[in-house]
Amino acid sequence: MNALSDKTVGRLSLYRRLLNGLVADGVTHVYSHQLAVLAGGTAAQVRRDMMAVGYTGSPKRGYDIRELAQSIGAFMDAPEGQGVALIGVGNLGRAILAYFAGRRPHLAIQAAFDADPYKANRVIHGCHCYPMTEMDTIAAKANIRTAIIAVPATEAQAVAAKLVRAGVRGILNFAPIRLHLPAEVYVEDIDMTMSLEKVAYFSRKGRAEKEVNS
């Protein structure tokens, strides 16, 4: 119920996805050490994360998969679903639309925006694309609090500031710059250049690590 750590939330999201996969396979129960190998962690960490959501398993039978998945969902999802906006419908933006298209019912991209007026009023991968000028009004009307930024680095800061003014409280930022925003706005950066350079470095220097974005 109270504040979870950044990393814990990430793992919970992962656990749920793994659990859904297990349900599809017809499995009904899982032990912490099994979930650990699937998630690439340790059994102790899994158990601690379960503590965080307050779900309790049974010794000798482990965790009830369906119950646990539901428990995580109750913890993470907005009860009424949550709309997301995408800003920037270039190469990357379109790939993001395709990636999330029809995937999650409770966390769908409801509107896309682009500065290029030629892209406006088209439907791309099932998502309506609006001109940037309408961002404020549409975001406010749909009560959107989460946004994905996929615009060039030069425009990202201005777009982010505009989003915050429109009521957005969390941003997934693909632009390769650090955004400067009020402290109450949560920003997660996905910096592909940085990630690739890290991989290249450790490819040469040879160090093993299990790492997750964020």
Check residue 162 for interaction with its own copies (CB under 8 A).
Answer: no
Nearer to its own copies, 44 or 194 (CB): 194
Q: How far is the CB of 206 from its own copies (least distance, A)?
A: 6
Among 38, 57, 108, 189, indicate the residue that binds DNA (CB under 7 A): 57
What is the DSSP annotation of 83-144? EEEEE--SHHHHHHHHHHTTT-SSEEEEEEEES-GGGTTEEETTEEEEEGGGHHHHHHHTT-
x/- letters, 59..78, toward DNA (CB under 7 A): xxxxx---------------
Is the distance from CB of 144 to CB of 84 less than 8 angstroms?
yes
Instruction: Report the alpha-carbon distance of residue 162 to residue 136 in Å, rounded.
Output: 8
The footprint of its own copies on residues 93-122 (CB under 8 A) is 94-96, 98-100, 103-104, 107
Rg (CA), the chain: 19
Instruction: Report the alpha-carbon distance of residue 99 to residue 147 in Å, rounded.
Output: 15
Nearer to its own copies, 61 or 81 (CB): 81
Of DNA, its own copies, none, which one sits near residue 189, judging by CB under 5 to 8 A according to partner kind? its own copies
Among 54, 126, 148, 156, indicate the residue that binds its own copies (CB under 8 A): 148
Task: Give first-to-last CA distance, the chain, whole Å.
Answer: 22
Cα torsion for 138, 141, 145, 150, to the nearest 10°?
-10
The residue range among 47-55, 77-85, 115-123, 128-136 that interacts with its own copies, by the rule CB under 8 A, is 77-85
Q: How far is the CB of 35 from DNA (least distance, A)?
A: 8
Is the distance from CB of 101 to CB of 126 less than 8 angstroms?
yes
Kindly list the residues in this chain that would bind DNA in the complex (CB under 7 A).
5-8, 31-33, 41-45, 47-48, 50-51, 55-63
